[in-house]
Amino acid sequence: MKHRQTVDRATCPTAVRRTGMRAFVLTGPGAYEVRELPAPVAGPGEVVVDVERVGVCGTDAEFFTGAMAYLHQGHSAYPMRPGHEWAGRVAAVGDGVDPAWLGRRVMGDSMLGCGACRRCLRGRQHVCEQRREVGIRGGRPGALAEQLAVPASSLHALPDSVDAVLGALVEPGGNTLRAARAAAPAPGDRVLVLGPGTIGLLVAMFLRASGAEVHLMGTTESSLAFARSLGFEHAWTEDSVPDVPSDAAVDASNAASLPELALELVEPGGRRGSVDPRPLVAATVGLDEVGPVLAGERPAGSGPGPKIHVEP
């Protein structure tokens, strides 16, 4: 679909702004539409990004089913536009934003603090009481659209060596790197990762790069076989985990029983290189195919990886 374009000279002489765009919108539990919406405008301190790639996350699936706690706590409401793992190129900048951002390839933080409270001023905007979360909380539209408006302060520039696939994996990669560092493995330490999904496999990759001996525990043979194909030879089901202590454990699952199991498997006194996560992406789909993906369907021709990406 072609869009009429206008030059937004009030923002920047070289910026080109669309008047409309396509976006994926959740309208209720299990209900969705791909809508034609007004294109976003960069407000003061904001940029508009042409979205290149978006990752579909378990949080998005919880919004699709209606199970997401924010819906019941009043932090989120339908209709909503999900999508918080994204990469793209800056198309327009608002007042007060350095025009050097124009044309830059970027990704952005999901959690946007108020900027004025004690937590934000201490750099802890992710726990700000008034925070908004892109595509998740506070009515901030997400990236499952052709364009996205976000604060310039949330941007991180991507080097040319990081393509759109890797760019959209930076957000989950940052979370998992933090978890891997928290495990604090020394070379040769044995670390058990519970759950071989996207998050668990990313944690495992970072742990392996640090020199740890990584063990993965899962429930399905297909997920464990995929982990082995990535070079993780120690991949087990719960009833086949070797009876050897681990120096650390990372719970990357959503099973309520596993934190207790992790404590049993970690050695008393224990604690909870280069990584290429592109093999985790099983398929890339368009906006029209997002609904079935959130409903749990695998796109035709998908690879064995756990992550689905969207190219708006």
Q: What is the pLDDT of residues 13-31, one digit of tens each?
A: 344 567 899 999 999 999 9
Q: Is 252 in the same domain as 221?
A: yes
Q: Is 215 in the same domain as 146?
A: no
Buried b (16+ CB within 10 A) or exposed e, 295-310: eeeeeeeeeebbbbbb
pTM for the structure as a whole: 0.85
Whole-number pLDDT of residue 256: 73
In a domain, residue 278? The reply is no
Contacts by 203-206 with C-beta closer than 8 Å and gap 24+? Answer: 203/176, 203/179, 203/250, 203/252, 204/232, 205/176, 205/230, 205/275, 205/276, 205/277, 206/176, 206/177, 206/180, 206/181, 206/275
How do residues 132-191 score in pLDDT, each as one tens digit?
999 999 999 999 999 999 999 999 999 988 999 999 999 999 989 999 999 888 898 999
Cα 31 to chain center, whole Å?
22
Output the CA–CA distances (angstroms, integers) from residue 180 to 23, 211, 243, 274, 278, in the order listed: 35, 12, 23, 14, 19
Coil/strand/helix, residue 304: coil
Q: Is 78 in the same domain as 134?
A: yes
Q: Is 11 in the same domain as 108?
A: yes
Is pLDDT above 80 for 3?
no
**Percent of the chain scored above 70 by pLDDT?**
90
Helices 198-209, 170-183: inter-axial angle, 10-degree rounding: 60
Residue (of 112, 49, 54, 41) closest to 82 by Cα position: 54
Residue 238 maps to which CATH number? 3.40.50.720
Could you give the number of structural domains in the chain?
2
In a domain, residue 280? The reply is no
Q: In sequence order, what are the beta bridge partners of 281?
A: 307
Q: What is the residue range of 117's domain?
A: 5-167+285-310
Q: Is 118 in the same domain as 213?
A: no
